Amino acid sequence: MEARLDYFGNALAGKVLRHLNSAGKAASEAGLPVATQELVKIRASQINGCGFCTDMHTKDAAAAGETPLRLNLIAAWREATVFTDAERSALELAEQGTRIADAAGGVTDEAWANAAKHYDEDQLVALMSLIAVINAYNRINVINQQPAGSYRPGQFG
């Protein structure tokens, strides 16, 4: 598979990515645990079929100390016993926030209330923002058919 165009080498794409990266950086520095951030990014990327982002975030999570067991069970988190209640609430929010077109009414009040039990207001803003940003990255990469598999942890700084 080859990308449709060199998105990472395009000047306009560079401007767009700088803004997305800036938003992602602000959200990632809001006190949400790094493991939770990566779980959310991986789950949204799995749902969206974004191989590039799934590759990137599983490798980044592993480099940050995430276990292979947990990485292998993200797609089946409901049945897995390896995630905390807080992580489970973040994964539910990520799924509902990613699948908004599939659910009448978008994110349920129950999913929101459950997340709010585990995260403060800034962390909730960070969680919502990370879900939005990873969905944007997923769409860019899926539309462009960005190949997966060659990412190296820390490759983008």
Quick count: other Cβ atoms within 10 Å of Cβ 76?
8
CATH number of the domain enclosing 34: 1.20.1290.10
Q: What's the pLDDT band for 1 if we cut at 50, 70, 90? A: confident
Give residue 57's identity as a one-letter amino acid code. Answer: H
Q: Could you tell me the residue range of the domain that residue 111 belongs to?
A: 7-144
pTM of the full structure: 0.95
Query: Total domain count for the chain?
Result: 1
Alpha-carbon distance of 102 to 125, in angstroms, equals 23
Domain annotation covers residue 154: no
* pLDDT tens digits along 16-39: 999 999 999 999 999 999 999 999
* pLDDT tens digits along 47-104: 999 999 999 999 999 999 999 999 999 999 999 999 999 999 999 999 999 999 887 7
Domain annotation covers residue 115: yes
C-alpha distances in Å from residue 137, one per residue of 76, 89, 100: 23, 22, 17
Over 80: is that where the pLDDT of 107 sits?
yes
Domain annotation covers residue 65: yes
pLDDT of residue 124: 97
Domain annotation covers residue 49: yes
Domain annotation covers residue 96: yes
Domain annotation covers residue 156: no
pLDDT of residue 43: 98
Domain annotation covers residue 152: no
Report residue 147 as tokens.
């190949």
User: Long-range contacts for 66-74 (Cβ within 8 Å, ≥24 apart)?
Assistant: 66/35, 66/38, 70/39, 71/42, 74/39, 74/42, 74/43, 74/46
